[in-house]
Chains A and B, each alone.
Chain A
């Protein structure tokens, strides 16, 4: 790997990638992946992708931006980009995040404290283009030159940058090499937020140029607004699937489970990430069983988007974000519920409980909260009879960034695990200092080209190291281990990453949510709710 990449390389013509990573370059992993040979080889980017898309940044391609066909088209794209850049710093166009963005633009001293906290930079072995300030520094120079209309004095003070299509094309990809976990912002001595810069760049590309990864825009927020869910399930299909889940869970647990739909005036509107219904049906099933047993008045909604809590706009587009958030609240308003409770989905928590908060006025300001304090209170209340010996296997906890660092929900999940799991052990570091799973900000659902290789080798590497260290005393194949990841996107990342490294077959590392552990420990339930069947 070429260790150092000058900033001006971003504007270099041609489509030769600035960075080529190999396993030897990466941060070493602990056993059983301690040598580069034991690590997986990368899938190469295909010649077809390289010929068709802009792949001039690194080994991979996340956004699939088609290559312009003429210099005129390139010039039009540059003009469009600069127009979007202006809008990013205009109050009328970007009041939503203007203040934190400006503070980040105008005060970074380049001290590099953020670099040590970034899991992507560290895992890549210190590749310069993944340094958190690399992207921000380009953006900063663009801001002073093109938004503030700086001249020579400004270039001397804030640095120079040449805007051309190669720079923009690389910047589009670079905006999708950050998990938006904001660990860097947490450590910045000046409060600058490189994660926000990545997000605002994504916003510029989406809201001005119409450029966003297909998985999060066309097949994501647009599909959700069209049929109700990013999974493609409409209301009828989702109700059918949940009825099937109810039946299955009733059979598995020996307790009749029924999910209520569209109950007017219920206390709780529970909104799951609909991906759970498709990929991990035991999770919504476990929720239904626990809420029914605890005597909670609850319901699910069959309104458009009312049954899918995801809000991909959080990662790239304010308009899409607001549209989906309003759909969620509208579903609750129609039912007249007293509160919305978010299921196991980290970004959905942050989106509806925190980011949307100031947008929701009057009757739309319906109380919203996480399922975690509710579940903690159910478990600790003593109303249900739990038998922790049923969970007597090693368990570790992943802290989803959106729930923990970005929302401050740290202890409820720990109280639950300390109560229910005798072999619970923490990762290091954890809580608000956690590391992202590597699938954050949409990466967990982005698999185009060889992007998945990148997210396992680079963005997920630090978390993988933490998981392997947490289970280092019991890596034998006889001991099943449970990686508790109370977030759908994180679970998706873990499912794919554990499979990629074959850690289920070879080391019996399993993953799942937290409600499954609660149901597994319920004394009234047939033993073996967690069936250790890989999916």
Chain B
């Protein structure tokens, strides 16, 4: 049983990493699109960012270097990632449940390095403190996830606004989280005597120690958790990856096109690609390039067509 638990955890982590990397590569390798930013953009100069302004508010903006203020951008990212700013401002009712759920996940992830620290530090006071800290973080995290998932599930099932956008998998995903963390929480609370707790299990996992005894409920919870981890990157729950690109490559990407830049070279390459759109005015026969199509005038009859 212990070996099975270890293997499932390693496999879960491996699939999570592979799935996430594949998804990151999928988005990162897409062509650079045309500019499509949305204001406010937080890395703008503070006096403009306050009202959502841009460098377009000044005459001859191209004569000034484009300023990028990293600190406000990082603060905006933290507010968005940790405190779910958009949801808090624009959908406060949903925010409570979603925040509990997501913050619960963050607490679980925060408990992990604390637990790892416990393995390397010495001294009874430090160990006790870290043991309590990791237990509190993990316990609060699991509670947040369970409560959040219950409220989100209730909303999915009862809110008419959600009917058209709710698929069977959406229900399954929430139930998956709910069951996994309910099982894990219960397993930790009702751990049979002589079986390993999370700390001992972590130590055993790192040393691949088969002598550790894992209780059946904790084993079930860990296998479920591993499966959940492996499943996430292959669903829309990988929005933590998509969100990075949606913000940095779309909403906040206000970079000007600079002569001789890498961006200019990339677009020059795309303009040599040959599209296949069928509408007559496109004149995209799979031979003409984007560049030729963009410089053609569909209202002017070519000499060849005239001869026809």
Q: Beyond A365-B257, A408-B56, is A189–B276 a contact (Cβ under 8 Å)?
A: no
Contacts of B61 in A (CB 8 A): 369
Nearest-neighbor residue (CB-CB) of A353 within chain B: B56
In Å, the complex CA distance between A185 and B73 comes to: 19
In Å, the complex CA distance between A374 and B59 comes to: 6
The listed residue (A87, A157, A322, A374) touching B276 by CB distance below 8 A is: A87
In Å, the complex CA distance between A137 and B159 comes to: 17
A168 is an interface residue with CB less than 8 A from chain B: no
Contact indicator B84/A189 (Cβ below 8 Å): yes
Output the least CB separation between B29 and chain A (Å): 9
Contacts of A137 in B (CB 8 A): 164-165
Q: Beyond A137-B165, A410-B52, is A113–B296 a contact (Cβ under 8 Å)?
A: no
Mask for B32-70, Cβ within 8 A of A = 1, else 0?
Answer: 111111111100100010011111111111100000000
In Å, the complex CA distance between A369 and B161 comes to: 42
Give the interface segment out of B121-129, B219-227, B244-252.
Answer: B244-252
Contact indicator A97/B236 (Cβ below 8 Å): no
The listed residue (B36, B80, B84, B161) touching A97 by CB distance below 8 A is: B36
Contact indicator A369/B56 (Cβ below 8 Å): yes
In Å, the complex CA distance between A186 and B86 comes to: 9
Contact indicator B53/A339 (Cβ below 8 Å): no
Mask for A192-234, Cβ within 8 A of B = 1, else 0?
Answer: 1100100000000011111000000100001001100000000
Contact indicator B299/A92 (Cβ below 8 Å): no
In Å, the complex CA distance between A117 and B33 comes to: 26
Nearest-neighbor residue (CB-CB) of A362 within chain B: B259
The listed residue (B34, B56, B94, B276) touching A370 by CB distance below 8 A is: B56
Contact indicator B56/A112 (Cβ below 8 Å): no
Contact indicator B90/A113 (Cβ below 8 Å): yes
Q: Beyond A131-B164, A319-B282, A326-B294, is A432–B90 a contact (Cβ under 8 Å)?
A: no
Q: Which of B262-281 contact A (CB under 8 A)?
A: 263-264, 267-268, 270-271, 273-281
Contact indicator A157/B57 (Cβ below 8 Å): no
Output the least CB separation between A283 and chain B (Å): 20
Q: Beyond A111-B91, A320-B281, is A355–B59 a contact (Cβ under 8 Å)?
A: no
A528 is an interface residue with CB less than 8 A from chain B: no
Contacts of B251 in A (CB 8 A): 185, 191
In Å, the complex CA distance between A207 and B282 comes to: 6
Contacts of A193 in B (CB 8 A): 36, 250
In Å, the complex CA distance between A115 and B19 comes to: 31
B162 is an interface residue with CB less than 8 A from chain A: yes
B207 is an interface residue with CB less than 8 A from chain A: no
Contact indicator A190/B243 (Cβ below 8 Å): yes
The listed residue (B36, B80, B236, B273) touching A100 by CB distance below 8 A is: B36
Nearest-neighbor residue (CB-CB) of A227 within chain B: B299
Contact indicator B299/A117 (Cβ below 8 Å): no
Output the least CB separation between A331 and chain B (Å): 14
Q: Beyond A222-B299, A225-B298, is A411–B57 a contact (Cβ under 8 Å)?
A: yes
Contact indicator A206/B247 (Cβ below 8 Å): no
Q: Beyond A103-B250, A157-B235, A191-B246, is A97–B33 a contact (Cβ under 8 Å)?
A: yes
Contact indicator B91/A98 (Cβ below 8 Å): no
Contact indicator A133/B57 (Cβ below 8 Å): no
How many residues in B have their beta carbons less than 8 Å from beta carbons of A?
A: 89
In Å, the complex CA distance between A107 and B256 comes to: 28
Contacts of A192 in B (CB 8 A): 246
Most chain B CB within a 10 A radius of its CB, from A6, A7, A106, A320: A106
In Å, the complex CA distance between A207 and B30 comes to: 21
B238 is an interface residue with CB less than 8 A from chain A: yes
Output the least CB separation between A432 and chain B (Å): 4
In Å, the complex CA distance between A385 and B62 comes to: 30
Q: Which of A71-119 contact B (CB under 8 A)?
A: 80, 83-84, 87, 91-100, 102-103, 106-113, 115-117
B293 is an interface residue with CB less than 8 A from chain A: yes
B194 is an interface residue with CB less than 8 A from chain A: no
B303 is an interface residue with CB less than 8 A from chain A: no
Contacts of B164 in A (CB 8 A): 6-7, 128, 131, 133-134, 137
Give the interface segment out of A29-37, A399-407, A457-465.
Answer: A399-407
Q: Beyond A408-B57, A410-B57, is A84–B278 a contact (Cβ under 8 Å)?
A: yes
Main SS at interface, chain A: helix
Q: Beyond A93-B277, A320-B281, A323-B296, is A109–B239 a contact (Cβ under 8 Å)?
A: yes
Interface size class of A (residues with CB under 8 A): 35 or more
B195 is an interface residue with CB less than 8 A from chain A: no
Contact indicator A102/B56 (Cβ below 8 Å): no
Most chain B CB within a 10 A radius of its CB, from A6, A374, A410: A410
Contact indicator A95/B270 (Cβ below 8 Å): yes
Contact indicator A208/B274 (Cβ below 8 Å): no
Contact indicator A408/B44 (Cβ below 8 Å): yes
Contact indicator B39/A411 (Cβ below 8 Å): no
Nearest-neighbor residue (CB-CB) of B263 within chain A: A358
Nearest-neighbor residue (CB-CB) of B269 within chain A: A95
Contact indicator A95/B33 (Cβ below 8 Å): yes
Q: Which of B134-161 contact A (CB under 8 A)?
A: 159-161
In Å, the complex CA distance between A130 and B81 comes to: 29
Q: Beyond A100-B33, A110-B165, A189-B84, is A319–B281 a contact (Cβ under 8 Å)?
A: yes
Give the interface segment out of B7-15, B111-119, B166-174.
Answer: B166-174
A17 is an interface residue with CB less than 8 A from chain B: no
Mask for A415-439, Cβ within 8 A of B = 1, else 0?
Answer: 0000000000000000110000000
- Listed in ascending order, the chain A residues whose CB lies under 8 Å from chain B are 3-4, 6-7, 80, 83-84, 87, 91-100, 102-103, 106-113, 115-117, 128, 131, 133-134, 137, 156-159, 182, 185-193, 196, 206-210, 217, 222, 225-226, 319-320, 322-323, 326, 339, 353-362, 365, 367, 369-370, 372-374, 377, 404-412, 431-432
**20 extra interface residue pairs, beta carbon distance < 8 Å, beyond A108-B236, A128-B164, A207-B278:** A84-B278, A91-B30, A96-B34, A103-B245, A111-B98, A158-B169, A159-B167, A187-B89, A187-B90, A222-B281, A353-B56, A354-B37, A355-B36, A357-B34, A358-B264, A359-B267, A373-B58, A404-B52, A405-B52, A407-B39
- Listed in ascending order, the chain B residues whose CB lies under 8 Å from chain A are 27, 30-41, 44, 48, 51-62, 80, 84, 86-87, 89-91, 94, 98, 159-170, 235-236, 238-239, 242-243, 245-247, 249-251, 254, 256-257, 259, 263-264, 267-268, 270-271, 273-282, 284, 290, 293-299
A–B complex contacts, Cβ < 8 Å, 13 sampled: A97-B33, A98-B31, A103-B245, A109-B170, A109-B236, A110-B166, A157-B235, A196-B36, A322-B290, A369-B56, A406-B37, A407-B56, A410-B53
